[in-house]
Structure 1
Amino acid sequence: MAASLNVIALISGGKDSFFSILHCLANGHRLVALANLHPPEDGDEDINSFMYQTIGSSLIPLYGKALDVPLYRQEIRGSAVIHDRDYREEKDDETEDLVPLLRKVMEQHPEANAVSTGAILSTYQRTRVESVALRLGLTPLSFLWQYPFLPPYSQSSLLSDMHAVGQHSKIIKVASGGLDESFLGENVADPKTVSRMKKALGRFSENGDGALVGEGGEFETLVVDGPSLLWKRKLEIPGEGEIVRQEGGTATWKATAKLDLRKPPTFDDEFVRILKSPLETPTITRLSEKRPRPITLPTSRHFQHAETLIFSNLIGLSHPPSTYSDPSHPSIKLQLTNIFLRLIKLLESYQTMPDHITHCTLLLRDMKDFTSINALYAHFFRFTNPPSRVTIAVGDTIPAGLDVMLTAIAHPAGQRTGLHVQSQSYWAPANIGPYSQAISVPLRRGDGEGRELHIAGQIPLDPVSMTLYTKDGFNGEAVLALQHLWRIGRTQGVK
């Protein structure tokens, strides 16, 4: 069981941030504070921020009392400077307004060690919160990430689950041609409203683009009520019709003593079938107790095939491994440093750079060295969406005196895109290390559609707790690791 985290919840008043809090509680974490960024007091409430929902911000102070949780607020001072999907630190970007806000909360709540966000499909939002959280030493939690693509695989599952636990979220803004003002004031999770929205949004409601959950800004919501595990009182809105334009109707109080919140199952349906199918685990017969014979050191090579560069079997020794005798041979850190120095020279010879590298295979003698070299590895790949990586401990099959080898693949040309999810969720393990879940580059075939995808190595970590999955023995471990691979591939369009 993973340790309980003390969570700061980023809230906007919208449905997703509050539903994410419920999943934090359902997974054993503790809510210590609410945090919100608001538009300037003397300006328009709805500033159309790329990052933050601001409509309804005048009502945010009511949430501290409604949930009986400390609320901290700060003004938005920046603007959207970095428009890329993936984020890199930029002092004038509105994302950086989160830093002083969260620092203020952490000063008052030094026990806080995690931050929750309601990102569902928006890489733009998720990567920005992750960037700030990790810089401040907070664990990012995004329990709604890829929610419509988890069992039962429906765009409406999120709204159905909100309705099931009694979270009442009113629609306070519509921005889509398919949704008119008649939706204002409706409970977005009410089955009748969901049915109307599906018809109004037409084909967009179930095609995977997030329209039905408002991920593309089709509508905005304001949460006014929810289960008593979180809500201590209904949100009382004075002069309701005046504060929220055309707001109509009243919320129904729905309280339960116990939170009966549906959590997506660990396995997708197809992987449940694989797990339940008769699988024979091969019997391994130990032929000898002798230590494995080291392999002959592969030749380091570098070559170009079409637009792909391959730098294989790089080592950090200036002499053959056999000439070094323990314990005088270079440390693993020095070996890796030498590998990177050599790699830089090789990249320069092809007039390319480290951020063109798409994938690395790292071979270690002993996995106990992983932690000590990971910081050095991270220092080399200090850019957005670092290469995907596979790390394998090969033991004494590697020649004596040699502790680490590296093979790197680079694509100097073409648009490189990456998936680097660092938040804990139900979807797949967070990559808190210096590597992405996936990197893709265009295929050189002329149609401009196909892409070559490099995926990181996967182990059977439970995505929610980030601990090893121990149920169902070896078969469970193998199937879960395979599912991680498939879920990553599916987000990248693999079919």
Structure 2
Amino acid sequence: MKVVGLVSGGKDSCYAMMKCIEYGHEIVALANLMPMDDSIDELDSYMYQTVGHQIVVSYAECMGLPLHHHLSYTMTAGDEVEDMFILLNEVKQKIPSITAVSTGAIASDYQRLRVEGICSRLGLVSLAYLWKQDQSSLLHEMITNGIVAITVKVAAMGLNPGKHLGKELAVLQPQLLQLNELYGINVCGEGGEYETLTLDCPLFINARIVLDDYQVVLHSTDSIVAPVGILHPSAFHLEYKMSSCNIMTGSDSVKMANVYEVEGDSIPTYGVKFRSLDLVSDIYAAADQKIHMSSTKKDTFSIGCWIQDSSGTSEGLQKDLTAVLKKVELQLHKGGFDWVNVLYIHLYIANMNDFALANETYVSFITERKCNLGVPSRSTIELPLMQVGLGKAYVEILVANDQTKKVLHVQSISCWAPSCIGPYSQATLHKEILHMAGQLGLDPPTMMLCPGGPIAELKQALENCQAVASSFNCSLYSSAISFVIYCSASVTSSQRNEIWCKMESFLGQKTSSDLLNGSVTDVLHPLSLFVLAPDLPKRALVEVKPVLYVPADKETVTEVEVKSPIRAKIPNYWGFEYSKWHYSCCQKYILHGKICSTIISVTNEFAAKICSETDQNHVDCQYFGAEKHMKRIARFCIYLLNEVLLEGNFSWGDLTNLRFYFTTKLCLAADVLSLILLEAFNEFPMIDDRVTIGEEPIFNLIPVLGSGGCALANDLITCELFASKL
């Protein structure tokens, strides 16, 4: 990408541009905001460094790049970004090929969010390659990679203006590390402890800056808190390099530079055009008779919405998805909610070739403007929807009846974790449950799938998950409740087995043999579910979707004992009686009084046992796709789900979401299987009075190529239940 580098004069903005070049981008222009009064060094801005701004104009000549600067920057109460918007808009107009902006943000959400907001309005990509990097390592990198910078402001315990101003970073590095150990200061100065001025770096292909004279200005002499002082340059010159070789690109020509002043004060309007209700009413009305919904009844509840299309006459993804999203939106409004209440969205589409079109339709409904608390997290996969009589789009949403969610939405491309450019976020925390977006094996700084096949992608995806989890002060190792591992159909069975082994190794889970032998765990282990899908975004081979428990009181979850089942209290229904093999097909995560999650796998082997318990005539049956067999299997699933709920002292009223993954090998249409399950639920006497089944199911049916609790993914049906008392 062609990039404009936001420069403040400090080490961070210069090193961020060096990282951009390292990752294949091209810096084509510089941009800088200066105070209205050139003689004043602004100290109170959370957004910009202005100390030493008098020298920044020389960067144009040092680097051989055009520099655009805005001379009308003033502190504005509650908003420091409109001047930057004017500046970058001017740069974009002069250089239309620019597609990205480089910033040196390391830890400041204030800076990052505002730059991302401006980039979104201007259709630019934010590049923040220093974001979330370890500051001690980052400082060492800067010094060893040729950043020559001096301190121009100090404001921290242990830093003395008279002694430390004007010193090079390489000289101060040992003391900064020591002060970090003593007082916890940010080694890179991210807490405002110090600011720097870059005098030379590999980007300066034409000349270096030499500071001839300066004044030390004390703003505070309070030695108890920290003395504050700045270095005000009064004389400097450029020292031209002997060979003006372009170190970064290998060119031998001297690049000439220009400095442009930006004086524009008009602010054009950018952003998404919102689809009005009238524009979609015709699409919605046409499809309304075919739209079906599901919903749970808890405070945190799920809604599923899909189109029944048994004739296969779908008019296309855009119309199907528009109709589904509008139906969901109306359902939200009916309950007094809106998209701001949505925590998570599962987007299922019939063809991954329509992914771009799906996103275009998606953003006409779910926008940052509508979600002022943060946009929902999201996972997107391709499913065999049409093969089971569904339309080309299927949406599941998780909704909260309050507005207490905490959302992590980093849109900048960085080395931290994959960016989420657009209206979906990396993770959403609500009532101690962290719902993480599906993570691909993307290399964060390049946003490209890492090479090496499914195991390499899985490893990178888990690293990305861990980076996101760390932002919430938790870990996959100790906090994971469950993992759904989506595998592309192109992943072979042997490769899936390698993925399973890698997951076991990563999480220290029990072996699959222990699981199949039906032994009951003594401690909480995260659940694993494999889903075989036709395709994934970016043609990825693996996508990982974790759910984590992040307790507010920081209790250790891994050592919580799982209590013995309350089998004596569980009545027998439909002829099922407790048997040890029941738990051979069941994974459980039960945190008593808080969380109950389970995955039940029904393979051909288990289906034979299920049918034999109630009808000896079907013991030898090798095929269980017939409706009469599915009725028995559906009853067993509900019976066993109920048993797990009661084991943890939960009821159906605590249900947050329930999915039944079913393989297309059953050759059953979704509407047929849905009626079978509805009938079983309606006749089951243990359903809580607060849960009304009726014609609207409390479950979602997810057609897949394969699913299961192990790498074989050979279940006929897999049940995934999550209940919560939080």
Are the structure 2 counterparts of residues 460 and 80 from structure 1 closer, same or farther at C-alpha, using a change threshold of 3 Å?
farther
The corresponding residue for 1:237 is: 211
2:121 to 135, 143, 147: 135
The corresponding residue for 1:380 is: 365
1:158 to 131, 138, 159: 138
After TM superposition, give the deviation of residue 81 of structure 1 in Å. Answer: 5.1
Residues 1:314 and 2:295 aligned together: no
After TM superposition, give the deviation of residue 326 of structure 1 in Å. Answer: 4.0
- CA offset digits 1:16-54 (Å, max 9, x no partner): 000011111222222211100111126732151121111
- Letter of the aligned partner of 2:359 in structure 1? N
- Letter of the aligned partner of 1:12 in structure 2? S
The corresponding residue for 1:194 is: 173
How is 1:125-274 mapped onto 2 (pairs within 5 angstroms)? 125-148=111-134, 155-181=135-161, 182-188=163-169, 190=170, 192-205=171-184, 211-227=186-202, 229-241=203-215, 245=231
How is 1:306-455 mapped onto 2 (pairs within 5 angstroms)? 307-311=299-303, 313-315=304-306, 317=307, 320-322=308-310, 325-327=311-313, 329-383=314-368, 384=372, 385-396=374-385, 399-441=388-430, 443=431, 451-455=432-436
After TM superposition, give the deviation of residue 241 of structure 1 in Å. Answer: 4.1
After TM superposition, give the deviation of residue 126 of structure 1 in Å. Answer: 1.3
After TM superposition, give the deviation of residue 80 of structure 1 in Å. Answer: 5.2
The corresponding residue for 1:39 is: 35
| Separation in 2, partners of 1:258, 1:42 | 32
| Separation in 1, partners of 2:50, 2:363 | 36
Task: State, as a whole percentage, how many aligned pairs show the same letter.
Answer: 32
After TM superposition, give the deviation of residue 485 of structure 1 in Å. Answer: 1.2
Structure 1 unpaired stretches of 5+: 83-92, 149-154, 261-296, 444-450
- Letter of the aligned partner of 1:121 in structure 2? A
Residues 1:66 and 2:62 aligned together: yes
The corresponding residue for 1:463 is: 444
| Separation in 1, partners of 2:16, 2:380 | 33
CA contact (8 A) 1:39 1:47 kept: no
| Other structure's SS at 1:237 match | strand
How is 1:8-157 mapped onto 2 (pairs within 5 angstroms)? 8-41=4-37, 44-77=40-73, 79=75, 82=78, 93-148=79-134, 155-157=135-137
Which stretch has the larger CA shift, 337-346 or 45-54? 337-346
Are the structure 2 counterparts of residues 42 and 474 from structure 1 closer, same or farther at C-alpha, using a change threshold of 3 Å?
closer
| Separation in 2, partners of 1:232, 1:254 | 6
CA contact (8 A) 2:34 2:73 kept: no
After TM superposition, give the deviation of residue 164 of structure 1 in Å. Answer: 0.5
CA contact (8 A) 2:350 2:384 kept: yes
Are the structure 2 counterparts of residues 458 and 132 from structure 1 closer, same or farther at C-alpha, using a change threshold of 3 Å?
same
| Other structure's SS at 1:156 match | helix
- CA offset digits 1:214-248 (Å, max 9, x no partner): 11111111111123x54421113353347963779
Are the structure 2 counterparts of residues 185 and 42 from structure 1 closer, same or farther at C-alpha, using a change threshold of 3 Å?
closer
CA contact (8 A) 2:2 2:25 kept: yes
| Separation in 2, partners of 1:259, 1:8 | 16
The corresponding residue for 1:492 is: 472
Structure 2 unpaired stretches of 5+: 218-229, 250-289, 476-726
- CA offset digits 1:51-76 (Å, max 9, x no partner): 11111112221211222221111035
| Separation in 1, partners of 2:111, 2:474 | 23
| Separation in 2, partners of 1:135, 1:141 | 15
- CA offset digits 1:368-417 (Å, max 9, x no partner): 22211211211211125310001110125753241111111122325322
Are the structure 2 counterparts of residues 78 and 420 from structure 1 closer, same or farther at C-alpha, using a change threshold of 3 Å?
farther
CA contact (8 A) 1:156 1:212 kept: yes
- Letter of the aligned partner of 1:193 in structure 2? L
CA contact (8 A) 1:389 1:457 kept: yes
CA contact (8 A) 2:38 2:54 kept: no
CA contact (8 A) 1:225 1:253 kept: no
Larger Rg: 2
CA contact (8 A) 1:204 1:211 kept: no
Are the structure 2 counterparts of residues 201 and 483 from structure 1 closer, same or farther at C-alpha, using a change threshold of 3 Å?
closer
Are the structure 2 counterparts of residues 409 and 79 from structure 1 closer, same or farther at C-alpha, using a change threshold of 3 Å?
farther
| Separation in 1, partners of 2:400, 2:158 | 42
Which structure is richer in relative contact order (CA contacts within 8 A, separation 6 or more)? Answer: 1
CA contact (8 A) 1:165 1:259 kept: no
- Letter of the aligned partner of 1:237 in structure 2? L
| Separation in 2, partners of 1:166, 1:42 | 29
TM-score, normalization: structure 2? Answer: 0.53
- Letter of the aligned partner of 1:50 in structure 2? Y
CA contact (8 A) 1:362 1:390 kept: yes
TM-score, normalization: structure 1? Answer: 0.76
The corresponding residue for 2:684 is: none
- CA offset digits 1:118-167 (Å, max 9, x no partner): 0111122112112212322222211111111xxxxxx3111111111221
Which has the larger share of strand?
2
| Other structure's SS at 1:245 match | strand
After TM superposition, give the deviation of residue 346 of structure 1 in Å. Answer: 2.4
- Letter of the aligned partner of 1:109 in structure 2? I
- CA offset digits 1:348-371 (Å, max 9, x no partner): 343222111110111111112221
| Separation in 2, partners of 1:246, 1:100 | 28
| Separation in 1, partners of 2:138, 2:347 | 39
- Letter of the aligned partner of 1:424 in structure 2? I
| Separation in 1, partners of 2:354, 2:231 | 60
The corresponding residue for 2:693 is: none
CA contact (8 A) 1:11 1:35 kept: yes
| Separation in 2, partners of 1:335, 1:397 | 12
CA contact (8 A) 2:346 2:378 kept: yes
Which stretch has the larger CA shift, 386-395 or 127-136? 127-136
| Other structure's SS at 1:196 match | helix
CA contact (8 A) 2:57 2:67 kept: yes
| Separation in 2, partners of 1:252, 1:156 | 31
Are the structure 2 counterparts of residues 367 and 336 from structure 1 closer, same or farther at C-alpha, using a change threshold of 3 Å?
same
For these two proteins, the number of residue pairs brought into alignment is 414
| Other structure's SS at 2:176 match | helix
- Letter of the aligned partner of 1:309 in structure 2? F
| Separation in 2, partners of 1:428, 1:477 | 14
- CA offset digits 1:240-292 (Å, max 9, x no partner): 347963779x99999998669xxxxxxxxxxxxxxxxxxxxxxxxxxxxxxxx
After TM superposition, give the deviation of residue 298 of structure 1 in Å. Answer: 12
Are the structure 2 counterparts of residues 462 and 220 from structure 1 closer, same or farther at C-alpha, using a change threshold of 3 Å?
same
How is 1:276-287 mapped onto 2 (pairs within 5 angstroms)? none
| Separation in 2, partners of 1:401, 1:362 | 14
- Letter of the aligned partner of 1:160 in structure 2? H
- CA offset digits 1:326-363 (Å, max 9, x no partner): 44x34322222222222223223432221111101111
| Other structure's SS at 1:240 match | strand
